Amino acid sequence: MCSVRPVDYDGDLADLEASLSEKDVLRLQSCRAAVVDDDAYILVAERDGRVIGVGVVHVAARDDMGWGPDSETPSFMDETSAYLESIEVSAEMRNRGIGTALLHEVENEAQRRGKAYIRLHTDGQKVDAHRFYERNGWLYEKTVHPSWKQGRATRVYVKRL
């Protein structure tokens, strides 16, 4: 069905550009130093030699990731908690279990790195995403209104690893 592996920044770029927005590709590039320093990891789902999904996870807060002015987000990537910044599957490949496979590897890797929890933000309106996380054992923790979301209702989910 699909395999999940760490990103190869140079080798995967063409596939990532084909399936992600320009903004998301730029964000991936801006995480490169954090990945090299092992403060973040990026996993991709590959099928038939093509990258069709990506998950970006932070395991340590860094000043160059632009988390401010939200003071809470960095606390989601402390000694005990990893932070899933984003997970996305190419639109035409959704609803085939690829997101679930990617999410499980994201969680396993956080556990391997000694984390007890993994957290994420998701839009308060994205009911499909809420169902996706809840079906995979994540718990709704609270709703916040961060400035980087222009104050929109945003859910925090957490999973005990």
For the residues of 30-48, what is the DSSP string, one character each? HTHHHHHTTSEEEEEEEET
Instruction: Tell me how far, at minimum, the Cβ of 90 lies from ligand COA, in Å.
Output: 8
**Residue 78, φ and ψ in degrees, nearest 5:** -100, -160
> Residue 10 or residue 92: which is nearer to ligand COA going by CB?
92
CA gap 141, 110 in Å, rounded: 19
> Residue 35 or residue 55: which is nearer to ligand COA going by CB?
55
> Residue 112 or residue 131: which is nearer to ligand COA going by CB?
131
User: Which residue, judged by CB position, is nearest to ligand COA in the bound state?
Assistant: 99
Instruction: Tell me how far, at minimum, the Cβ of 114 lies from ligand COA, in Å.
Output: 24
> Residue 112 or residue 126: which is nearer to ligand COA going by CB?
126
Q: By the criterion CB under 6 A, which residues form the site for ligand COA?
A: 86-89, 94-100, 122, 126, 128-129, 131-132, 135
Question: Residues 160, 3, 92, 58: is their CA dihedral positive or negative?
Answer: positive
Instruction: Tell me how far, at minimum, the Cβ of 53 lies from ligand COA, in Å.
Output: 7
